Structure 1
Amino acid sequence: MKSSLPTNPDPASIPDARGSGPSGAPAAKGGRYAALPRLAGASYIPLGLFARVPLAMLTIGVLTLVTTVSDSYAIGGFAAGCIGIGAAVGAPVTGYLADRLGQKRILLVAAVINAVLVAAVVILAYALLPEQGADVTDGATLTVLATALVAGATSPQVGPLSRVRWMALSKKLPAKEQGPLVDTALSLEGTADEVTFVLGPALVGLLASLVAPWLPLVLAAVMTLALVTLFALHPTERVVGARPASTTVGNAGYVSGERPNWFLVAVPVMGMLCMGAFFGSSQTALTAFTGVHGSVDQAGLMYAIMGASSAVTALSVAYWPAKFGYSWRWVLASGLMAAGAAMFLVPESLGQMVWVLLLVGLFVGPTMVTIFSVGSVVAPPQWMGTVMTALASGIVAGTALGSSIAGSLAQNVGYHTAFIVPIVAASALLLLGLVAAVSLRGRLKRNH
């Protein structure tokens, strides 16, 4: 049944932190972050956080389940890789369809299909893999891998589409308030990503070890069906609801017709590819490091240390001076990140590595938030969902690339050589920041 509410309502129709009343401008009381729930509603932030947890559980959950059932690291690795490849390919498609058809209907369909496919991976793994042993080329094994691929491709893209909603909400504010609101919202979104990157794998490990390897994926399917549905139906969706194609108004009520400059969009997308390569390679190299200086099962905890410091500094971006533009923020943050990454070659004990991880993480969050901000500027509003999901795909694809290169180096040469990969990835981020500072200079002027 169609809603009688307008597709593009006034902000006063979006519930504030008290559940109703005007929210056209975030009040100063309580600070910038306190203004966000007054604008989007009290339930929006926790809903947006927990609705993206199932995606963070999916790759490691499939890896754990398939490896356990098949008794094959190869099949488990291929299954996890299929999830990543599917997500990297499917995310921009989801974003494009959300831009054209509206977020609500796309997220509702994706939630149902993805939940069914994740459940199918569990059922097929138990039904087919034990009979087939460890042969990757068996038809039954390929069936499981193909299901995992499609499950990854249909993953609901809550994080990128949430960023689109914040940017649409910001357009309802006076011009001078839009920039601070976007900075604050994107900083919060970056922190939410970091939290789920840590929470998802930890939840999988806990449930799989205490109960059974199928439980994390079943829980992820249930959470997807429930939480993504609630996210799709949240009142903020109406601010980015697509109008009929016959009108001149596109996604979120913006005037359509402007096509993206794909060269400009490619700069932040390549930045996210390098960011993903940094994540994947540092995690893999860190696993090899803990295997030498401790035990492999300590790698997740060590990696979480970098995520914790990254989440804290991501929140700080909202308070950076407005005159300090996005492109030079990118240059500074990635330059410090590259310098910190060079310290990966120094530690010879777990204790020393803890301090390095804390240091490097300080610059990871601001870099990621800044690149998303650049993407929000170079994308025409009616293409915002497409570009945001393309940035997210860059992280996924880069993570797979970085993991594979660092894993090969760690296996054949050693962890010292594997740590060169995140150093190179961070250095590439610095170079791309310089490219952004030059080629996007006019486009990245702050609008407040």
Structure 2
Amino acid sequence: MTSPKFPVPDSPTSDAAPGPGTDTARDATPAPDVVAPAKKVGRYSMLPRIAGKSYIPLGLFARVPLAMLTIGVLTLVTAVSQSYAIGGFAAGAVGVGAAIGAPLIGYLADRLGQKHVLLVAAVLNAIAVGAVVVLVYATAEFTTAATAAVLGTTFLAGASSPQVGPLSRVRWMALIKKMPTEQQGPLVDTALSLEGTADEVTFVLGPALVGLLAFMVAPWLPLVLAAAMTLTLVTMFAVHPTQLAVTGRHSGIADNAGYLPAESVNWFKVAVPVAGMVCMGAFFGSSQTALTAFTGVFGSVDQAGLMYAVMGASSAVTALSVAYWPVSFKHAWRWTLTAGLMAAGAVMFLLPDSLDTMIVVLLLVGLPVGPTMVAIFSVGSVIAPPQWMGTVMTALASGVVAGTALGSSIAGALAQSSGYQSAFVVPIAAAGSLFLLGLASAMVLRRQVTVR
């Protein structure tokens, strides 16, 4: 497929993004809305020219510590306490903390600007994660009080987690808003497709890195590495020149990438994509838990993570394809179609009777997952007023976290009482709910433009 081409400036670009009303604009990449008709590049090639060459890899690796946190806490606490229950509660506390803290971080970033909020969050999170390691190893016996202290600390680690993924999406929205109107729609799809793929890659990379380091060295190493990566990479992300495009709405800087002074949020409309992300999280959590029960039947529980990565890999690939879908194919209907395919595919979870056939099913089921996530984030970007974009994007991300915990717990209970086939009913139900919410989003957006 030949990718559409966009005109870009002739001169080489620096790694900085121009900040409105600042002197850095003189030495940075030419403003995106000043376009020369000289060279032609594809959509994905256009993104580094908009945000700078280092932005995409930085945005990818800066979100890895968050992907390592939950499984890292589970691994460490379980290994030291010798209790799967306490380890599970600790991991759940991380999820609850992230679900509560993420929208708060997004709100503060909208209000104060991303830079200072992310810098503070990076320091607090590194301290909290370090405290988890120290406290767990300092606990000689996991009494009720000691366990409560561990859970409180892991909750704080989750609540302070820097929300790189959602806030990166906000930056793309603001940067692309400076492009010519006819280019904005395709470029938004491209940026969100890239972000969806980055999420999928880190969902696979983070747990794999935790498992490798914990097995080869010690269970404390993944969390120590995550804290160090947070201090360095999140700090670099926070100060990257693209943050100038999303200065807080009370900063008083003019031409703030379309951030408007006063526009309220219709939280009823926002609740639709948030509920969609809860269902998406429930699909993830229940699939992983049911898959663990399935592999346990064959005595291969340790392969569950690798098998789950197969679904993540196919999902990541198809997420990239969304950039080339027609702009006329509205986001809500994309959501509806791909969620319908997810629901139909999830039924296949009930068919395999061997590990090999399950791998094939996971590969097929994963195909519509990435595009569905991209579509839901796209719907959220349409519904959210620009000055509330960070709040809405982080609310969507917290929906995934909350849904994952919910799906895992329900599927775990069913697997324990009735076997893995009953547990696989949960992802089927979650995907079916996603389909219905896709129809609801189409109704919500029927009078709204697709791209702001």
Q: Give the alignment's TM-score, normalised by structure 2.
A: 0.92
Unaligned 5+ segments in structure 1 are none
Partner AA of 2:416 in structure 1: Q
**2: distance between equivalents of 1:66 and 1:58?**
12
Cα 1:48–1:335, aligned 2, differ >3 Å: closer, same or farther?
A: same
Aligned to 2:179: 173
Q: Could you tell which deviates more after superposition, 432-441 or 76-85?
A: 432-441
Q: Which of 309, 312, 315 is 1:304 aligned to?
A: 309
**Distance in structure 1 (CA, Å) of the matches to 2:196 and 2:231:** 24
What are the superposed Cα offsets for residues 276-300 of structure 1, whole Å, 9 maximum, x if unpaired?
Answer: 0000000000000011134100000
AA paired with 1:147?
T
1:96 matches 2:101 = no
Task: Tell me, in whole angstroms, the C-alpha distance in 2 between the residues paired with 1:36 and 1:124.
Answer: 43
Tell me, yes or no, if the aligned pair for 1:82 and 1:148 is still in contact at 8 Å. yes
- 1:142 deviates by 1.2
Tell me, in whole angstroms, the C-alpha distance in 2 between the residues paired with 1:15 and 1:35. Answer: 19
| Superposition map of 1:416-427 within 5 A | 416-427=421-432
SS at match of 1:217: helix
Cα 1:37–1:158, aligned 2, differ >3 Å: closer, same or farther? Answer: same
The alignment status of 1:13 with 2:53, answered yes or no, reads no
Alpha-carbon shift at residue 60 of structure 1 (Å)? 0.3
> Relative to structure 2, which stretch is displaced further, 341-350 or 249-258?
249-258
> Structure 1 residue 244: deviation in Å?
3.4
Runs of 4+ in 1 over 2 A off after TM superposition: 5-16, 20-30, 247-253, 444-447
Deviations 1:127-148 (A, max 9, x none): 01xx214x4x2x1221111010
Instruction: Say yes or no: does 1:377 pair with 2:388.
Output: no
Distance 1:150 1:269 in 2: 23
Give the residue type in structure 2 aligned to 1:63. Answer: L
2:177·2:257 contact (CA, 8 Å) conserved in 1?
no
Total equivalences in the alignment? 434
Amino acid of the residue matched to residue 47 of structure 1? L
State the partner residue of 2:197: 191
Gaps of 5+ in 2: 1-16
1:82-105 superposed Cα distances (whole Å, 9 cap, x missing partner): 100000000000000000000000
Instruction: Please list the CA deviations of residues 35-85 of structure 1 after superposition, one character each: whole Å capped at 9, or x if unmatched.
Output: 000110000000000000000000000000011111111111111011000
The answer to whether the aligner puts 1:228 opposite 2:261 as a matched pair is no
SS in 1 for 2:70: helix
1:8, 1:25 → 2: CA distance? 14
- Aligned equivalents of 1:439 and 1:21: distance in 2? 37
Contact 2:192 2:377 in 1 (8 A): yes
- TM-score, normalised to structure 1, is 0.93
What does 1:135-174 align with in structure 2 at a 5 Å threshold?
135=143, 137=144, 139-174=145-180
* CA distance in 1 between partners of 2:124 and 2:26 (Å): 29
Alignment partner of 1:39 is 2:39? no
Measured in 2, the distance between the counterparts of 1:6 and 1:207 equals: 40
Aligned to 2:416: 411
Corresponding residue for residue 95 of structure 2: 84
The change in CA–CA distance for 1:14 and 1:343 in structure 2 (over 3 A counts) is farther
Aligned-residue Cα RMSD (Å) equals 2.0
Percent identical across equivalent pairs?
71
Structure 1 residue identity aligned to 2:357: Q
**Alignment correspondent of 1:69:** 80
**What is the alpha-carbon distance in structure 2 between the residues aligned to residue 444 and residue 367 of structure 1?**
19
Contact (CA 8 Å) 1:267, 1:432: kept in 2 or not? yes
Partner of 1:132: 141
Which residue pairs with 2:223 in the alignment?
217
